Amino acid sequence: MKENKLSIQSSIIWNSTGSLIYLCTQWLISVLVVRIAGVETAGNFTLAMSVNNVFYSIATQGIRNYQVSDIKEKYSNGTYVGSRLIACIITVIICVGYCVIIQYSDGQKACIIAYCLFKISEAIYDVYAGICQKAWRMDYIGKSWIIKGIVTFAVFCGVLYISSDLFIAIIAMALSSYGVVFLYDIPKAKSLAHITINLRTKDNLLLMAECMPLLCYLILSTLISTIPRIFMERILGSYELGIYGSIATPTLIVQVGASYIFNPFLTLFAEKYNCGEIDSFWKTLKKCFLSITVLSVIALLGGRILGKWGLTILYGAEIAQYVYLLVPLIFCTILTAIVWFLCALLTVVREFRGLIIGNVMGTILSCVSSAVLLKIAGMQGASIALSVSLVAEIIFLWIYLKRKLKKIER
């Protein structure tokens, strides 16, 4: 049953490489939707992705970090898998209910539900990836991301090109993703650990209840960036959302790149905090912020100087004429990366109250500012609204982090 552990360095390299390749293939899908099917279809695809960011949070429950740190195995692998399956079923029901209530076109509703089924495959994979990570076989995770990225990219683009039907293309992508999960991910996880799916209500409810604060944070955090896009579709239309989403997609590289800077340090932060070495905690935090600042300056300058040229190559002149949206969007991704960092630190120091309050404030501001600014500033209003929300959230999170650390210093 057990297999030899991989070195920490090799595991991290495999995981980072696989995640980056998958990110690139998903990004290329967003690019090619515009090329293959046009801006209107790209808008519907962006809508389906944006709405399902929230549903994916519900499906994963924010449990992954808890799962991989459960060294004493308070909950069995089977319980983690069982709770994930229950959460996925609930998520699909909520998604269907949302589509019944909200006034989208039938085609948009079909695409949202289809994309939800695709994201459910990722949620199921995530819990088995947690088992591999816990066993330090992250090479399996990296290889899975690579396989899944290439297969889903080829299937989606091929089907969309042949059928010109976004719904059919998303369904085909979902089926190919499930194929990788059942043929590769689950067998690899079972080679590392004993897994008997546990659907006992008591065990699953205890796990879900214990991780409820993390689920709430994850949903709220996702909502903050999703709300401006939902308002945009309602106020401006799918065409504008397609343009905005297309320009926003490449900027995610900055956000993910920043997470690669601070994620490896989270264990170190936890060690410093638990040992009471607060001065060292602050020094490490400053180093991370400095690295994020350097990356931010490079990204902003690159967007300013090379933005129109890059958008023309990726999408053509139709999208490139909206280059003025690029730099504000890059700024938004930088702010989002800082929020991710601060939220991770609050999780490390177990300041869940501040985590929730900060994200609640950000969500409220995102709703109010999006409703107002999109009518005043058009597409640019979405970026302004998101920036306002994220800056306010950063201030709240920072205040709670300083308070928590001062208590330890005393």
Judgement on whether residues 195 and 222 belong to the same structural domain of the protein: no
Judgement on whether residues 264 and 120 belong to the same structural domain of the protein: no
Write the single-letter amino acid at 201: T
> Tokens at residue 347, please?
């999780």
| Boundary of a domain, candidates 188, 210, 232 | 210
Q: Between the ranges 1-15, 113-127, 348-362, 396-410, where is the mean pLDDT highest?
A: 113-127
Confidence at 199, pLDDT banded by 50, 70, 90: confident
Judgement on whether residues 237 and 197 belong to the same structural domain of the protein: no
Contact indicator for 204, 85 with CB cutoff of 8 Å: no
Read off the pLDDT of each residue in 57-61 and give the average, rounded to a whole number.
Answer: 85
Tell me how far CA of residue 145 lies from CA of 121, 152, 184, 231, 254, in angstroms.
Answer: 12, 10, 11, 32, 20
| Boundary of a domain, candidates 210, 245, 277 | 210
Read off the pLDDT of each residue in 26-43 and give the average, rounded to a whole number.
Answer: 82
Q: What is the pLDDT of residue 406?
A: 84
Confidence at 233, pLDDT banded by 50, 70, 90: confident
Confidence at 1, pLDDT banded by 50, 70, 90: very low
Write the single-letter amino acid at 219: I
Judgement on whether residues 146 and 202 belong to the same structural domain of the protein: yes
C-beta pairs of 198-203 under 8 Å, 24+ apart in sequence: 198/76, 198/78, 198/79, 198/81, 198/82, 199/82, 199/85, 199/86, 200/79, 200/82, 203/75, 203/76, 203/79, 203/82, 203/83
Confidence at 381, pLDDT banded by 50, 70, 90: very high
Judgement on whether residues 112 and 126 belong to the same structural domain of the protein: yes
Confidence at 35, pLDDT banded by 50, 70, 90: confident
User: How many Å apart are CA 112 and CA 45, to the nearest integer?
Assistant: 8
Residue 263 has pLDDT above 70, yes or no: no
Number of domains in the chain: 2
Could you report the per-residue pLDDT of 238-248, keeping only the tens digit for each?
Answer: 788 878 887 88
Q: Between the ranges 183-187, 220-224, 225-229, where is the mean pLDDT highest?
A: 183-187
Contact indicator for 323, 303 with CB cutoff of 8 Å: no
Q: What is the pLDDT of residue 4?
A: 63
Q: What is the pLDDT of residue 97?
A: 93
Read off the pLDDT of each residue in 314-325 and give the average, rounded to a whole number.
Answer: 84
User: How many Å apart are CA 307 and CA 312, to the nearest integer?
Assistant: 9
Judgement on whether residues 312 and 247 belong to the same structural domain of the protein: yes
Return all residues near 260 (Cβ < 8 A) that are at least 6 apart.
16
Could you report the per-residue pLDDT of 265-304, keeping only the tens digit for each?
Answer: 666 677 777 788 888 888 888 888 888 888 889 889 988 9
| Boundary of a domain, candidates 210, 240, 274 | 210
Radius of gyration of the chain (CA): 21
User: How many Å apart are CA 340 and CA 146, to the nearest integer?
Assistant: 25
Judgement on whether residues 162 and 254 belong to the same structural domain of the protein: no
- The whole model's pTM is what? 0.72
How many percent of the chain have pLDDT more than 70? Answer: 93
Judgement on whether residues 129 and 175 belong to the same structural domain of the protein: yes
Q: What is the pLDDT of residue 192?
A: 85
Judgement on whether residues 180 and 318 belong to the same structural domain of the protein: no
Q: For 4, which DSSP code?
A: P
Q: Give the DSSP H/E element, type plus range, for residue 396.
A: helix 380-409
C-beta pairs of 365-373 under 8 Å, 24+ apart in sequence: 365/389, 365/392, 365/393, 366/223, 366/224, 366/225, 366/227, 366/228, 367/227, 370/227, 370/228, 370/231, 370/232, 371/231
User: How many Å apart are CA 15 and CA 135, to the nearest integer?
Assistant: 13
Question: What is the chain's mean pLDDT, rounded?
Answer: 85
Give the 3-state secondary structure of 284-315: HHHHHHHHHHHHHHHHHHHHHHHHHHHHHHHH
User: Could you list the residue range(s) of the whole structural domain that residue 391 is in?
Assistant: 211-410
Higher pLDDT, 135 or 6: 135
Of the given ranges (59-63, 68-72, 97-101, 203-207), which has the lowest mean pLDDT? Answer: 68-72
Residue 2 has pLDDT above 70, yes or no: no
Judgement on whether residues 3 and 151 belong to the same structural domain of the protein: yes
Judgement on whether residues 345 and 234 belong to the same structural domain of the protein: yes
Judgement on whether residues 200 and 302 belong to the same structural domain of the protein: no
Could you report the per-residue pLDDT of 64-92, keeping only the tens digit for each?
Answer: 767 776 666 778 888 888 889 999 999 99
Q: What is the pLDDT of residue 260?
A: 63
User: How many Å apart are CA 334 and CA 329, to the nearest integer?
Assistant: 9
Contact indicator for 324, 382 with CB cutoff of 8 Å: no
Return all residues near 26 (Cβ < 8 A) that are at least 6 apart.
149, 152, 153
Read off the pLDDT of each residue in 141-160 and give the average, rounded to a whole number.
Answer: 93
User: How many Å apart are CA 144 and CA 151, to the nearest integer?
Assistant: 10
